[in-house]
């Protein structure tokens, strides 16, 4: 149905739309995909031809309903495969992304459906991101970043915003994983640095960290 590349663009546009309001700019797509703006313009035209995006020159793009459906299917497959890799094949949460980037393009309705069943219909991937169901519905949780938690409040880790290998390994090294409970001990007004208590150990976390860690209050 769609090429590898088309699917990657649709997914990138989808993710960017989630963060910003309104249309997605050519440059932001180029940045995310590590490609050049001119390549993006070319692809956008192709996607517009196929009615997957709405595009007005110089005005950015938005996904059409059809384009969004395709994007969500890719995201669904990506996250299901990530669960598979962690749950069944002993991958750690920092190892799954690159492989899932490949697996998300495998085309087989049956494969996706059976994988979903095999994993017992998971609702979140190893990074705490929601997995769209077979109809594309996404249950979004009311998570906040750790930086938004006040001093003396308690919370637990439910996901990460940045799922780069470096960041995930940093978290592993400090024993922070999904479900981990913590209490905010102090918060520096100047640069947002926080001290949190995990079990007994106190740990200082820069805003670089606290802005990328999703938690829920207890």
Partner DNA sequence: CTTTATTTTTAGATTAATCTAAAAAACAAA
Partner DNA sequence: TTTGTTTTTTAGATTAATCTAAAAATAAAG
Q: Is 62 in the site for DNA (CB under 7 A)?
A: no
Residue 73 beta carbon to DNA: minimum distance, rounded to whole angstroms: 17
Span from 12-20, 87-95, 126-134, 191-199 in contact with a second copy (CB under 8 A): 87-95
Q: How far apart are CA 3 and CA 113, in angstroms?
A: 21
- Contact pick of 56, 106, 138, 151 for a second copy (by CB under 8 A): 106
Residue 106: CB atoms within 10 Å: 11
- Rank residues 54 and 124 by Cβ distance to DNA and give the closer one: 54
Joined together, the tokens standing for residue 50 give: 């196929």
Comparing CA positions, the residue from 143, 144, 145, 147 lying closest to residue 207 is 147
Tell me phi and psi for residue 41, to 5 degrees: -55, -45
Stated as kind and residue range, the H or E segment containing 103 is helix 96-103
Kindly state whether residue 125 participates in binding Mn ion, applying the rule CB under 5 A.
yes
Q: Is 115 in the site for a second copy (CB under 8 A)?
A: yes
Write down the least CB distance from residue 163 to a second copy, Å: 17
Site residues for DNA per CB under 7 A: 3-6, 25-28, 35-46, 55, 57-60
């Amino acid at each position: 149905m769609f090429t590898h590349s088309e699917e990657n663009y649709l997914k990138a546009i989808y993710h960017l739309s989630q963060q910003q309001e309104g249309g997605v700019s050519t440059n932001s797509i180029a940045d995310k995909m590590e490609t050049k703006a001119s390549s993006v313009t070319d692809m956008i035209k192709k996607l517009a031809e196929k009615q997957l995006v709405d595009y007005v020159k110089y005005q950015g793009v938005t996904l059409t309903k059809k384009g969004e459906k395709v994007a969500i299917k890719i995201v669904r497959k990506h996250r299901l495969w990530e669960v598979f890799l962690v749950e069944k094949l002993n991958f750690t949460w920092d190892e799954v992304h690159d492989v899932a980037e490949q697996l998300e393009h495998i085309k087989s309705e049956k494969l996706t459906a059976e994988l979903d069943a095999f994993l017992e219909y998971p609702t979140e991937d190893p990074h705490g991101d929601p997995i769209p169901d077979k109809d594309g519905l996404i249950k979004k949780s009311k998570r906040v970043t750790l930086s938004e938690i006040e001093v003396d409040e308690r919370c637990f880790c439910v996901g990460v915003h940045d799922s780069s290998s470096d960041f995930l390994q940093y978290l592993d090294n400090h024993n922070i994983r999904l479900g981990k409970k913590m209490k905010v001990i102090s918060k520096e007004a100047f640069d947002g640095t926080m001290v949190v208590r995990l079990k007994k150990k106190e740990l200082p976390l820069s805003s670089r960290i606290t802005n990328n860690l999703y938690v829920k209050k207890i």
